[in-house]
Amino acid sequence: MKTLTLDDQTYRRLSSVLSDMMHAKGHDVDYGDVINELINVYQDSITFSGENAGG
């Protein structure tokens, strides 16, 4: 099984988002929550931009 690693900059950015989410939500979150939130925001932005692409 291959082990995946994050570079230091990516880890720091995810840690910063994790900290912001914990502060905003007022409870503990983990990296899985951060990644899911980032995916949701990305998918929403794709959907939104796709709706506007038709004119």
CA torsion through residues 46, 36, 26, 13, sign: negative
Residue-wise pLDDT tens digits, 11-37: 999 999 999 999 998 989 999 999 999
Per-residue pLDDT band for 42 (boundaries 50, 70, 90) equals: very high
CA distance 43 to 22: 22
pLDDT at 52: 60
Q: Per the structure block, which two tokens stand in for 36?
A: 């899911």
